[in-house]
């Protein structure tokens, strides 16, 4: 069966990949949401128009991938934004002012992202920025942010180099204006290595996208395994281009190398394509363990949840852990609104808005430097738990890994059992051992 | 980046995968080659046709009738109609121009953009997948490696199409018209051949083949608006190497590139995408007419 | 040049300006407009700089296409060459240069050095690529240039010798010049605009000189009929090769500027879809006119920007340009410039008294853009070297 969104009025039928033969899901209808355009390239969510000024609404700018292989991420972020905006505006706004968010499409390209961000700052006069999905884009954008002198809260892009101060490593581009409220690749892959410790796999391989994120995942994994003393041999690696439509040759190559386990940071539609094709090739029968390091991002919206049960996946935010009031009520309300569990991209975006609210209210102004001061070292809590920003502007969100299980009640994949690994600066630098890779925290 | 494994093993699956990749490439390349051989038009939009074939097939399967084969035929024919319409309305005006080649290339490139955006408009920018038809949707394991049985069907169909085309071109009246016209358009017209209708017919046929390629590939790869652009470059490489205008050249070239794509990641994970382009450059320099140059050979 | 000579020239210039819509007047207006743009809002300055860079890219491309009849789908290779050249120099050689000339002026020197290196790299590439490519004609030329462009793309992605950083590209940080308390951010919108404007104007002037020289005439002769040209004793291949190199160099300069503007040199620059931008801009503007690519670039960028103000349409700008491309090729090969000239003729009767040059007449590029405070007739010298093509309009 072809899986697709059957809402014919929505010009952009958001399509997700097929269900796998082993899991049949009833597609849950999606709420169409406030997309002024079919594309959602410039969308003003829940606010009146006009730039932020005293008395007028607070305007924030967001940049996400809204088209192409990872468009689902942008969509999820937009949901989180919409949810937060109505929550905030319904409860008195920010210091009495409504908040509105302009969302732009980065198209997963650094060039485009920089242009859009410049336009947001210089044409739309936003009071603050947040977003970004792609690590490559984040690395290109970070230096520009310090030139624009505007705070930027990264909510998803995971490369540790954007929260590693310039000079720490030759690739570091961190600066005082760039923050991240979600966990980084360094934290995430630490969890992968801890998971690997528990497994009896000795030969490891990877298949990841051909850009910073793919390589960094593998580099960090190898470094952590070394530092933690995990017995592992790294026997094969493949890095197909982003938006590859046929992974079969790469899959075949890995299978020929016959590793015990594979770590894969493939994401977005690429992941769903890969899984379907891997199943056809008998991957999950042959390979003992597959670790999906960003698996839960596209998995939860129930239109297709293809992560196979029994494999391992990580998430930057889990709807069930920690079992706090904040998390539970967020999950319930979100599910009621959208019919699916909140993904980490939605939660990261949601929390960015709350972070801005708190910063603006504490500072009593929307001056960029005042906001930067507020964010620096800020302690905050949200559905993801309690955390604070370290001196490199990285949030101390834990690394969450678990086993993929289908949950009847929520009609979706969840991680169960799930482990949260505290991944603070000391833990990470110990685990990295001799490596010169930065902890990014 | 390093070598993936020190002892590369070519499993049977790799060969089957390579041949099935080649089969899909063949279907789009042979149409491209045919159109160029007869009309002298290098149709940049051929990748878009392939993509459109996949999308229409998916749409038919999900909305009209849950039979893959019917949907594939509908997809192929629909694309044929689109192609014929493009030829009739746009390309036809360019035949008499002095520098028709380049103008045609640019116009067809304009259609690349139009088709891409139309597809995005109708189906969104996400990607779709579809399972192979149930009767073939099982895994075959030979010699330790596994592949989906449907791939064999695709290979078989490609061979069948090649045979059918060959018969068509060499044994039928229409085929002889095609052969005759491609070598000398004015002469053919003087001999009473309705050249414009013939051209539209050939364009239709070439487009149908591309659409068929897309339709048959839908179960094996994900379909997204990026597909057209990805595939047209491969198609160009194939027809250059095989020979613009040659059917058997398209077949051999396609299989060659297909195998390269299948085995590339095994042997040289780095640089495997550069090789087809290098081959293209070399062939263009040494033997621009390709390995098999000429039509109907 | 004696003082009286200069004085004489100035007064001749002045009277030419006063006389009516002459080249000199338009040139002066153009220069004034360029200066005025520097005071526009930052985003508009950025957009205009973008336009200048793309215009140069298209102009370089058209040297080969409009003037010599060779359609290249791989010119992005040289665009990327210039961009990566300067990006890598800035990334790796800034400390070295700083040691030599002192940290204050280093960014500017490195920038200039990077530009030179980028240009040199491009020329070095163009020599073999051009020599090989011009052996082929028409479609085959398009195919081989496409292949070279994509070959470049696939090689850059491999991150050879750790230079190009693969898919993510090389980040470009322009730095700040510190001279005795006075500091200048090279990447600042207006500074960079000034740098780009000067460079582009100079380059356009250079191309104009080339086109109006015997060299340019030979190009047109070859385009009209290679056989006849050969019969006249012209070494067609050699000449095409030379044109290729010049064309690539111009595009390389645009690439250097692109790196600073986009703040990143990415492999996408040499992808065929980027090469296609030059094709689109040129064809829409009118490949048979010197200013065609410039007008086309203007249309490409400003209509895109205008469309982006309407979210519902913005997603489909490609559709618009695809349709426009088709329409132009089918019905109106003279493109926008041709259209403007027709309009001018209709509105003003015959051409102006001051026509000089090969039948093109002083081009009054009104542009019809009342809203945008830009002027694309800004380049010095206004002759549309109208190169007639043999086909129907």
Neighbour tally for C352: CB within 10 Å: 17
Set of chain B residues whose Cβ sits within 8 Å of the Cβ of C304: none
Q: Which residues in chain B (75-134) have CB-CB distances under 8 A to chain A?
A: 121, 123-131
For an interface test with C, the pick among A39, A41, A102, A111 (most C C-beta atoms closer than 10 Å) comes out as: A111
pLDDT at B15 exceeding the cut of 80? yes
pLDDT for C380? 35
For chain B, percent of residues with pLDDT exceeding 90: 35
Candidate from B99, B106, B271 with C-beta closest to C325: B106
Number of Cβ pairs < 8 A linking chain B and chain C:
118
C136 to chain B: which residues are within 8 Å by CB?
Answer: 284-285, 288
CB-count exposure of residue C132 (10 Å: 0-12, 13-18, 19+): middle
Q: Of A36, A118, A140, which has the smallest distance from its Cβ to C311's Cβ?
A: A36
Task: Please tell me the predicted confidence (pLDDT) of residue A71.
Answer: 82
Closest residue of chain C to B96, computed from CA coordinates: C391
Q: Work out the minimum CA distance from C302 to partner chain A, whole angstroms.
A: 14
Tell me the pLDDT band of A7, cut-offs 50, 70 and 90: very low
pLDDT above 90: residue A349? yes
Supply the mean pLDDT for chain A: 82
CA-CA distance, A96 to A20, in Å (whole number)? 48
Residues 6+ apart with CB under 8 A from B2: A237, B269, B270
* Band of pLDDT at residue C11, cut at 50, 70 and 90: confident
Phi, psi (rounded to 5 degrees) for A292: -95, 105
pLDDT at residue number A24: 30
Judged by CB atoms closer than 8 Å, whether chains meet at C43 and A119 is answered as yes
pLDDT value for A290: 94
What are the tokens at A210?
Answer: 């051909």
Q: Is the pLDDT of residue A81 over 80?
A: yes
Calpha distance C11→C13 (Å, rounded)? 5
- B partners (3+ CB pairs within 8 A) are A, C
Range in A175-179, B19-23, B95-99, B228-232 the model is least confident about: B95-99
Q: Measure in Å the smallest separation between the Cα of C251 and chain A Cα atoms.
A: 19
C-alpha triplet A162, A435, A219: angle, nearest 5°? 65
Q: What is the mean pLDDT of residues A104-128?
A: 89
Domain ranges across chain B = 30-227
Superfamily of domain A186-315+399-432: Response regulator (3.40.50.2300)
| pLDDT exceeds cutoff 80 at A387 | yes
* C143 to B284: CB separation less than 8 angstroms, yes or no: yes
Burial classification of residue C331, based on how many CB atoms lie within 10 Å of its CB (0-12 exposed, 13-18 middle, 19 or more buried):
exposed
Dihedral of CA atoms A163, A168, A169, A172 in degrees, nearest 10, equals 30
- Residue B49 binned pLDDT confidence (cut-offs 50, 70, 90): very high
Q: Which of A263, A256, A251 is nearest to A199 (CA)?
A: A263
pLDDT score, position A43? 41
Per-residue pLDDT at B132 exceeds 60: yes
- The residues with which A381 forms a beta bridge, in sequence order, are A386
Residue C72 predicted with pLDDT over 50: yes
Question: In this predicted structure, what is the pLDDT of residue C377?
Answer: 37
Average pLDDT of the segment spanning B163-176? 85
In the block, residue with structure tokens 């075949």: A252
Orientation of helix C292-308 relative to helix C42-65, angle to 10°? 140
Per-residue pLDDT reduced to its tens digit, C161-173: 778 888 888 888 8
Residue A208: the pLDDT is: 93
Measure the CA–CA gap between B150 and A205, rounded to whole angstroms: 28
Q: Are the beta carbons of A359 and A374 closer than 8 angstroms?
A: yes
pLDDT of residue B238: 92
Cβ atoms of A312 and A195 within 8 Å: the answer is yes
What would the pLDDT profile of B263-273 be if each residue is shown by its tens digit? 887 776 556 67
- Over residues B244-293, the pLDDT tens digits come to 778 888 999 999 999 888 888 777 655 667 888 988 999 899 887 777 76
Query: What residues of chain B, 196 to 225, have a C-beta less than 8 Å from chain A?
Result: 220-224
* Cross-chain residue pair B1–A11, CB shorter than 8 Å: no
Identify the pLDDT of residue B271: 61
Give the domain A22-183+322-388 fold: Rossmann fold (3.40.50)
By CB neighbour count within 10 A (0-12 exposed, 13-18 middle, 19+ buried), where does C217 fall? Answer: middle
pLDDT in tens, A244-301: 888 888 998 898 889 999 999 998 888 888 888 888 888 998 999 999 998 777 665 4
Q: What is the pLDDT of residue A292?
A: 93
pLDDT category at A37 given cuts 50, 70, 90 is very low
Question: What pLDDT, on the 0 to 100 scale, is given for residue C77?
Answer: 94
* Confidence bin at A441 (pLDDT 50/70/90): confident
Nearest to A308 by CA among A345, A351, A264, A276: A276
pLDDT of C21-64, one tens digit each? 666 777 788 888 888 888 888 888 888 999 999 999 999 999 99
DSSP secondary structure letters along A200-245: ---EEEEE--SSHHHHHHHHHHHHHHHHHT---EEEEEE-PPTT-S
**CB-based contact A122 C187, cutoff 8 Å:** no
* Axis crossing angle, helix B100-123 with helix C317-331, rounded to the nearest 10: 150
Q: Which residue has the tokens 């392939």?
A: B50
Q: Binning pLDDT at 50, 70 and 90, where does residue A42 land? A: very low
Which is higher by pLDDT, A302 or C102? C102
Position C117 scores a pLDDT of 94
Which pLDDT value is given to residue A373?
92
Nearest CA among A31, A27, A41 for reference residue A9? A31
Q: Does A17 touch chain B (CB under 8 A)?
A: yes
| A42:C314 CB<8 A | yes
How much of chain A, in percent, has pLDDT values that exceed 90? 43
Interchain CB distance below 8 Å, A36 and C266: no
Average pLDDT over residues A315-329: 90
> Tokens in use for A26?
């009833």
A 10 A CB-CB count for A325 gives 9
**Following CA atoms B132, B124, A302, A157 in sequence, which dihedral angle do they give, to the nearest 10 degrees?**
110
Q: Is the Cβ–Cβ distance between B162 and B29 less than 8 Å?
A: no
pLDDT band at A54 (very low <50, low <70, confident <90, very high): low
Percent of chain A clearing pLDDT 70 (strictly above): 85
Q: Is the pLDDT of residue A16 over 60?
A: no
Which of B11, B125, B143, B231 should we substitute to test contact with A (largest number of A Cβ atoms within 10 Å)? B125
Residue tagged 């999900």 (tokens): B62
The whole-number pLDDT of residue B32 equals 93
* Model confidence pLDDT, tens digit, residues C220-259: 888 888 888 888 888 888 989 999 999 999 999 999 999 9
Structure tokens of C102?
A: 């002192």
Residue C149 has pLDDT above 90, yes or no: yes
Residues of chain A in Cβ contact (below 8 Å) with chain C: 36-43, 67, 109-111, 114-115, 118-119, 122-123, 136, 139-140, 143-144, 147, 173, 210-212, 215, 241-242
For residue A316, the number of C-alpha atoms closer than 13 Å in the C-beta half-sphere is: 27
Residue of A nearest to B24 (CA): A246
Neighbours of chain C (3+ CB pairs under 8 A): A, B
Residues A189, A137, A84, A307, CA torsion sign: negative
**Taking 70 as the threshold, does the pLDDT of residue C68 lie above it?**
yes
Q: Report CB contact under 8 Å: A249, B265.
A: yes
Could you tell me if A248 lies within 8 Å of chain B, comparing CB atoms?
Answer: yes
- Given the cut 0.85, state whether the ipTM is greater than it: yes
Going from the C-alpha of A385 to that of each of A160, A375, B75, C266, the distances in angstroms are 21, 17, 51, 38
Q: Which residue has the higher pLDDT, C377 or B99?
A: B99
B107 vs C: CB within 8 A: yes
Domain ranges of chain A: 22-183+322-388, 186-315+399-432
How many beta-carbon contacts under 8 Å exist across A and C? 77
């Amino acid at each position: 069966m072809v899986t697709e969104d059957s809402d014919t009025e929505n010009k952009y039928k958001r399509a997700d990949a097929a269900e796998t033969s082993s899991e049949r899901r009833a597609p849950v209808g999606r709420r169409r949401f406030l997309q002024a355009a079919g594309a959602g390239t410039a969308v003003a969510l829940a606010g009146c128009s006009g730039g932020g000024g005293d008395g007028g609404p607070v305007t924030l700018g967001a940049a996400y991938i809204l088209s192409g292989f990872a468009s689902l991420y942008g969509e999820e972020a937009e949901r989180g934004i919409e949810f937060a905006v109505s929550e905030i505006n319904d409860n008195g706004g920010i210091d009495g002012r409504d908040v509105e968010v302009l969302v732009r499409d980065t198209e997963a390209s650094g060039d485009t992202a920089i242009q859009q961000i410049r336009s947001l700052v210089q044409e739309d006069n936003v009071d603050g920025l947040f977003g970004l999905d792609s690590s490559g884009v984040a690395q290109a954008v970070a230096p520009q942010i310090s030139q624009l002198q505007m705070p930027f809260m990264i909510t998803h892009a995971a490369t540790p180099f954007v929260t590693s101060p310039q000079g720490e490593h030759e690739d570091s581009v961190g600066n005082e204006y760039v923050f991240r409220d979600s966990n980084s690749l360094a934290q995430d892959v630490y969890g992968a290595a801890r998971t690997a410790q528990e497994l009896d796999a000795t030969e490891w391989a990877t298949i990841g996208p051909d850009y910073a994120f793919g390589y960094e995942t593998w580099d960090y994994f190898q470094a952590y395994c070394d530092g933690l003393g995990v017995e592992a041999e790294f026997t094969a690696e493949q890095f197909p281009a982003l938006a590859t439509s046929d992974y079969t040759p790469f899959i075949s190559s890995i299978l020929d190398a016959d590793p015990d386990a594979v770590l894969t940071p493939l994401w977005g539609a690429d992941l769903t394509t890969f899984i379907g094709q891997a199943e056809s090739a008998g991957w999950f029968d042959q390979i003992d363990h597959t670790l999906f390091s960003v698996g839960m991002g596209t998995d939860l919206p129930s239109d297709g949840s293809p992560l196979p049960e029994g494999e391992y996946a990580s998430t930057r935010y889990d709807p069930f852990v920690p079992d706090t009031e904040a998390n539970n009520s967020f999950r319930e309300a979100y599910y009621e609104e959208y019919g699916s569990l909140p993904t980490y991209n939605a939660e990261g975006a949601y929390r960015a808005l709350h972070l801005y609210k708190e910063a603006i209210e504490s500072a009593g102004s929307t001056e960029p430097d005042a906001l930067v001061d507020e964010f620096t070292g800020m302690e905050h809590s949200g559905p993801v738990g309690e955390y604070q920003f370290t001196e490199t502007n990285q949030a101390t969100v834990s690394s969450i890994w678990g086993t993929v299980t289908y949950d009847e009640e929520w009609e979706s994949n969840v991680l169960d059992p799930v482990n949260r690994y505290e991944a603070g600066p000391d833990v990470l630098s110990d685990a990295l051992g001799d490596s010169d890779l930065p902890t990014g925290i | 980046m390093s070598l993936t494994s020190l002892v590369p093993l070519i499993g049977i699956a790799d060969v089957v995968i390579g041949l099935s990749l080649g089969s899909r490439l063949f279907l789009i390349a042979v149409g491209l080659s045919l159109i160029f051989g007869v009309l002298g038009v290098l149709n940049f939009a051929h990748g878009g046709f392939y993509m459109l074939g996949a999308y229409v097939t998916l749409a038919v399967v999900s909305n009209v009738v849950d039979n893959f084969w019917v949907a594939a035929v509908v997809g192929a024919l629909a694309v044929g109609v689109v192609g014929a319409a493009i030829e009739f309305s746009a390309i036809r005006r360019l035949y008499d121009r002095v520098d028709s080649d380049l103008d045609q290339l640019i116009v067809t490139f304009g259609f690349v953009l139009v088709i891409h955006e139309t597809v995005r408009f109708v189906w969104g920018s996400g990607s779709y997948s579809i399972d192979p038809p149930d009767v073939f949707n099982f895994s075959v394991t030979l010699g330790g490696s596994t592949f989906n049985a449907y791939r064999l069907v695709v290979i078989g169909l490609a061979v069948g199409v090649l045979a059918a085309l060959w018969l068509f071109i060499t044994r039928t009246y229409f085929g002889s018209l095609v052969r005759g016209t491609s070598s000398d358009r004015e002469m053919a017209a003087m001999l009473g051949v309705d050249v414009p209708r013939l051209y539209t017919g050939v364009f239709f046929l070439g487009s149908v083949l591309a659409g068929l390629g897309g339709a048959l590939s839908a179960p094996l790869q994900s379909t997204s608006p990026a597909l057209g652009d990805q595939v047209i470059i491969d198609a160009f490489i194939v027809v250059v190497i095989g020979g613009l205008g040659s059917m058997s050249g398209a077949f051999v070239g396609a299989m060659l590139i297909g195998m390269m794509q299948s085995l590339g990641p095994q042997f040289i994970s780095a640089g495997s995408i550069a090789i087809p382009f290098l081959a293209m450059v070399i062939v263009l320099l040494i033997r621009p007419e390709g390995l098999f140059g000429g039509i109907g050979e | 040049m004696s003082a009286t000579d200069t004085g004489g020239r100035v007064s001749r210039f002045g009277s030419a300006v006063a006389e009516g819509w002459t080249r000199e007047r338009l040139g002066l207006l153009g220069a004034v407009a360029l200066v005025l743009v520097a005071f526009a809002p930052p985003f508009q300055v950025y957009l205009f700089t973008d336009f200048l860079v793309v215009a140069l890219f298209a102009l370089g491309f058209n040297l080969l296409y409009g003037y010599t009849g060779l359609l290249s789908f791989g010119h992005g290779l040289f665009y990327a060459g210039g961009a990566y050249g300067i990006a890598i120099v800035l990334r790796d050689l800034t400390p070295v240069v700083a040691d030599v000339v002192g940290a204050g002026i280093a960014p500017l020197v490195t920038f200039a050095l990077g530009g030179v290196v980028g240009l040199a790299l491009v020329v070095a590439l163009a020599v073999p690529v051009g020599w090989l490519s011009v052996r082929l004609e028409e479609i085959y030329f398009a195919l081989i240039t496409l292949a070279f462009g994509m070959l470049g793309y696939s090689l850059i992605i491999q991150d050879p010798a750790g230079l190009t950083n693969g898919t993510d590209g090389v980040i470009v940080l322009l730095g700040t010049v510190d001279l005795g308390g006075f500091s200048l951010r090279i990447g600042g919108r207006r500074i960079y605009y000034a740098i780009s404007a000067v460079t582009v104007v100079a380059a356009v002037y250079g191309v104009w000189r080339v086109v109006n020289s015997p060299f340019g005439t030979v190009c047109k002769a070859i385009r009209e009929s290679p056989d006849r040209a050969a019969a006249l004793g012209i070494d067609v291949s050699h000449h095409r090769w030379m044109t290729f190199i010049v064309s690539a160099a111009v595009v390389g300069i645009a690439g250097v500027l692109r790196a600073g503007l986009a703040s990143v040199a990415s492999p996408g620059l040499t992808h065929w879809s980027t090469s296609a931008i030059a094709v689109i801009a040129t064809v829409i503007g009118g490949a048979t006119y010197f200013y065609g690519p410039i007008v086309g670039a203007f249309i490409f960028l400003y209509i895109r920007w205008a469309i982006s103000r309407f979210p519902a349409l913005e997603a489909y700008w490609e559709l618009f340009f695809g349709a426009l491309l088709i329409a132009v090729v089918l019905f109106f090969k003279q493109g926008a410039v041709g259209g403007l000239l027709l309009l001018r003729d209709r509105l003003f009767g015959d051409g102006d008294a001051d026509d000089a040059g090969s039948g093109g007449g002083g081009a009054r590029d009104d542009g019809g853009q009342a809203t945008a405070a830009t002027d694309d007739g800004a380049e010095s010298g206004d002759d549309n070297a109208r190169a007639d093509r043999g086909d129907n309009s």
